[in-house]
Amino acid sequence: MIDARESGSTTGRYVDKLIENLHILNPEFDFVVLTRPSRIEYMKTIAPKFEVVESDFKEFTYAEQIGFSKQLRALRADLVHFTAAQQPVLYRGKTITTIHDLTTTRFRNPTKNSLVFSFKQLVYKWLVKRVARKSAHIIVPSKFVKKDVAQYAKINPHKITVTYEAADYISDLAQPIKGLAPRSYIMYVGRPLPHKNLKRLMEAYSIIRNTRNNIKLVLVGKRDKLYEEHYHWASKEHIKGVVFTGFVSEGRLKWLYQNTAAYVFPSLSEGFGLPGLEAMAHRAPVVSSNASCLPEIYGEAAEYFNPENILNMVEAISHVIENPARTQKLVELGSLQAKKYSWRKMAEQTLAVYRQVS
């Protein structure tokens, strides 16, 4: 049984690709997929041989702890794969848990009430340790997270398996964005959470713009409360040339990747770093933070910088956008690096874990 309540979200891509590729492998097990009402038809499309059951219990709620636990007991699964740490702590059946990273244990969300968030963060810290210890096995997306979880939860690393994720090539036709010319911008894709370090990126950009005032910084992501806060911060700091695109279609995202002077990933903490790998798959030169798992995932295919050192970030970005030979080298290395990862392989490794603990 697979907990796919995260399907359709950012982390839900992992869940969707896991189920799609497990179905292709045609394993010997009978699979039941638990997902929200809005994702039932999608699951039936990608995995028609799997049983799909509605499970509309929100994470971190009493309903999850009581109602979801009751549903799991009623279904009598031999093994439940929770695809994120959030789960009913009192469920006593055999489980596997995927822990994507420990970022939530270390960073705050400034849009949330500080007292409420602090309490929830304490609960989450306890929950991660609890599920890491009670699960029959843990799955993580990188060696960095494996070491991190083993140390944090004080469990044997042999209980943890690394299953690398993968980047998808966008099949939609590339659609140009009005007002942007090829190679006239650097870019970032994703939410502007504190650990994503976007304010330092904007500061670094403002320095670069002093000598290259024709270059723009494109920030791609839904204009939520956090992005609005970054927009107003950039205005207050008089940082010009930042383009907040809001949500973009797959075709426009593809065009942005293919025509950027550099994809910059300034994150302080990642479990896998999928956006940078996706940029590589679309032949964008990547300039990345050297924090957490990123050097492990990107290898020699990125130009690295210390994400807490703005001048070091400026140097790394400048070295790429002002050096065509370095740009071309990163494009070639990045294309090869992205091809090293496979959702099919991830599913095969996960299936091996199922067999191991069954």
Number of other CB atoms surrounding residue 236 within 10 Å:
8
72 part of a folded domain: yes
Going by C-beta distance under 8 Å and a sequence separation of 6 or more, which residues neighbour residue 120? Answer: 60
Q: Are residues 231 and 262 in the same domain?
A: yes
Domain of residue 330: give its range.
185-338
178 part of a folded domain: no
CATH code at 62?
A: 3.40.50.2000
Q: What is the pLDDT of residue 10?
A: 78
Q: Are residues 197 and 271 in the same domain?
A: yes
DSSP-assigned letters across all residues of 116-159: HHHHHHHHHHHHHHHHHHHSSEEEESSHHHHHHHHHHHT--GGG
Q: Are residues 100 and 231 in the same domain?
A: no
Q: What is the pLDDT of residue 109?
A: 76
Q: Are residues 150 and 33 in the same domain?
A: yes
Task: Give me the residues of the chain with pLDDT under 70, please.
Answer: 111
Number of other CB atoms surrounding residue 20 within 10 Å:
17
User: Per the confidence metrics, is the pTM higher than 0.85?
Assistant: yes
